[in-house]
């Protein structure tokens, strides 16, 4: 049973499907919680004194971010009886670096979290390619079906994109204020990612095994 906890490979028989929009909401939700908790940190601390004891707004936001991440993974498991690989990696880093942030009262740890997560994603994707495993199929197989060459090309592009995001996070948190970094983490990184995804449509169209986003009865 233990080997069934992690989601099955793309196209595997019996793999439970999750609506792509719901999957996106589960992955984005903790980030939205983090942003609003940071912007309303003092009000939250006043309403819940126990959270106020954690420190300033960023520390309150970090604690709620950790809770939201665990809840999102729990909901995902409840729906599919498995855990998605990429959110597991992100969730583990959130919990580890969030705990260090709260324990040591050093915001550097939570600011470095996106660098570590994106670096890990890049390593996993590019490393998987080196061993002939285009792992991106685990993430997007529920949205569309590609041939092997398509998954390889898409995995390479995403691996390099995660390297870019890791470098970008380092530049932003080291050169700008905490509030700017938090806002950019949610409202800057997401548009960049969406734009990158849109540029992949020609590749998806060339290598798709069925009409993109075909709605099956």
Can you give the pTM of this predicted structure? Answer: 0.61
With beta carbons less than 8 A apart as the criterion, state whether 143 and 20 touch.
yes
Is the pLDDT at 38 greater than 90? The verdict is no
pLDDT digits (tens, 9 = 90+) for 127-164: 878 877 777 776 666 667 788 888 889 889 999 999 99
| 33 vs 168: which has the higher pLDDT | 168
What is the average pLDDT value for the chain, to the nearest integer?
77
Closest listed residue to residue 111, CA positions, set 56, 180, 205 = 180
Give the DSSP H/E element, type plus range, for residue 170.
helix 148-175
Using CA atoms, how far apart are residues 174 and 181, in angstroms rounded to an integer?
9
Closest listed residue to residue 123, CA positions, set 113, 135, 111 = 135
Residue 207: predicted pLDDT: 84
- Mean pLDDT across the stretch 94-107? 79
């Amino acid at each position: 049973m233990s080997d069934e906890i992690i989601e099955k490979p793309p196209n595997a028989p019996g793999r439970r499907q999750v609506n792509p929009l719901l999957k996106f909401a589960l992955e984005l939700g903790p980030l939205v919680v983090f942003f609003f908790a940071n912007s309303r940190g003092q009000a939250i601390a006043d309403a819940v004194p126990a959270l106020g004891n954690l420190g300033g707004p960023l520390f309150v936001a970090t604690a709620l971010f950790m809770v939201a991440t665990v809840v999102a993974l729990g909901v995902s498991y409840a729906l599919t009886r498995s855990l998605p690989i990429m959110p597991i990696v992100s969730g583990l880093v959130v919990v580890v670096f969030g705990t260090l942030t709260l324990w040591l009262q050093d915001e550097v740890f939570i600011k470095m979290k996106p660098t570590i997560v994106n670096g890990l994603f890049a390593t996993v994707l590019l490393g998987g390619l080196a061993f002939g495993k285009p792992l991106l199929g685990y993430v997007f197989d529920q949205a569309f079906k590609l041939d092997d060459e398509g998954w390889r090309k898409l995995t390479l592009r995403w691996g390099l994109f995660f390297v870019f995001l890791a470098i970008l996070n380092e530049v932003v948190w080291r050169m700008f204020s905490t509030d700017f970094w938090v806002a950019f983490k949610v409202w800057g990184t997401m548009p960049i990612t969406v734009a990158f995804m849109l540029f992949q449509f020609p590749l998806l169209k060339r290598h798709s095994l069925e009409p993109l986003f075909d709605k099956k009865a």
